[in-house]
Amino acid sequence: MRVLLSILGIALALYIGVLGLLWLLQAKLVYFPEQPGRTLEATPADIGLPYEEVWLTHDSGDRVHGWFVDAGSPATLLYLHGNAGNISHRLDLLRLFYEMGISVMIIDYRGYGRSDGAPSELNTYHDALLGWHYLVNERDRDPQQLVIFGRSLGGAVAAWLAEQVTPGALVLESTFASIPDMARVHYPWVPAALSRIRYDTLSRIDSIDCPILIMHSREDRDIPFSQAEQLLAAAGDNATPVEVQGGHNTTHIESGPGYTAALREFFSKAAITGVY
């Protein structure tokens, strides 16, 4: 019995130790700016798109880097990417939106790409808000023609932003209900209450006052389809569901023309003009 109790004591101590490390290092499990790398591999010019480099400065002095691709349309999209890579890894999406007649502002969160600082939940929120203010105040874009588009972790950031401002529309693609929910999916042996990083999309989605498009694939192995179902149930009649195809990072490719067709239909219903 003593031996068994000793073994159980050691196992418990190891378990608590692992939980302590996860508490301290959980940001390393959420943010991956180094994958596939912080260096910008290309620019929109490399795929034939006109663009302007943009630097946005916080009161702290931290600078956020981004690109603005002007399609000459009143429809403008603020794109908030996922937790890995940087803006140069989203060029195919910039081209897709540009070919639909939509101007795009894309930013790297602090700690990503050429942006200063380090990522955190609060920093990603404030980086997105800075991008919004740039479009409205510096670019004189009509908020009712502004679409906030968030993908994966960017969807949680987009939902927060849409709760602070009133955009013309919100698109959430491959987005989770919350980080604790995702912890239950990928680390069921870890108490979800240990999560200091929340990104609680589910708790705020019903207070967002604009049309919402929720896109997700049943083939997504990173963020299960059930996460989208939770968001849809909370959003109610304010949300439009679209089931896309492909893996977590490839829905815009594997869904083919159906992907852009779904966006066009949603933008039309949301009265976002200039899209073709």
**248: annotated active-site residue:** yes
CA 268, 269, 273 angle in degrees (round to 5)?
35
Sign of the C-alpha dihedral, residues 130, 240, 142, 74? positive
**152: annotated active-site residue:** yes
Q: Are the C-beta atoms of residues 115 and 109 closer than 8 Å to each other?
A: yes
88, 115, 152, 174: which one is catalytic? 152
**81: annotated active-site residue:** no
- Count how many residues are written for the chain: 276
Neighbours of 139 (CB within 10 A): 15
58, 70, 116, 248: which one is catalytic? 248
DSSP per-residue letters across 75-139: -EEEEE--SBS-GGGGHHHHHHHHHTT-EEEEEPPTTSTT--S---HHHHHHHHHHHHHIIIIIS
127, 220, 252, 255: which one is catalytic? 220
Residues with catalytic roles: 152, 220, 248
